[in-house]
Amino acid sequence: MAKFITAFQQQFIKQYPIDFNATQAYIRAGGTATHPKAAASKLLAKPLVKEAIEKYVQEQLGPLEKDLLGNVRFWIEIRDNKDARPADRLKASEMLAKYRSMFIEKKEITADVAVKIVDDIK
């Protein structure tokens, strides 16, 4: 078993906390395996990599971000739990989509504004 982290694994460690999607982190880190999902799963199963991800998250993030990432992990667990109620899985998917800015929300803003028209044509 390797006792050090490779440059590629270091990139994976930095990419994984973005969305906690191992396959996408593997691809963003520059992975070239034919089956990135399987390769990412093997990489994430390595204790050294897993510990390094936890350490990286703790070092890089403040309290607010840690709470946010805790929520994201919770939503992912619920979304992926086949035994959870469909309504709970749907809500977790919705929360993840909102977190990732997948929805466009229209906001109406009203304000009282004075308009001054200047006729400076000679």
pLDDT tens-digit map of 92-109:
999 888 887 777 767 777
Q: What is the pLDDT of residue 43?
A: 92
SS3 of 39, please? helix
Tell me the average pLDDT of the chain: 86
Q: What is the pLDDT of residue 64?
A: 67
**Low-confidence winner among 7-11, 42-46, 104-108 (lowest mean pLDDT):** 104-108
pTM for the full predicted model: 0.54
Q: What is the pLDDT of residue 89?
A: 94
CA distance 19 to 79: 14
Q: Supply φ then ψ for residue 28, to 5 degrees.
A: -65, -30
Residue 9 has pLDDT above 90, yes or no: yes
Q: What is the pLDDT of residue 10?
A: 94
The pair of three-digit structure tokens given for residue 98, joined into one six-digit string: 């909102």
Q: What is the pLDDT of residue 7?
A: 93
Q: Are the beta carbons of 3 and 49 closer than 8 angstroms?
A: no
The pair of three-digit structure tokens given for residue 118, joined into one six-digit string: 């200047």
- Sequence-distant (6+) residues with CB within 8 A of 40 are 12, 22, 23, 25, 26, 31
The residue ranges of every structural domain in the chain are 1-60, 68-122
Q: What is the pLDDT of residue 31?
A: 92
Q: Which class does domain 1-60 fall in?
A: mainly alpha
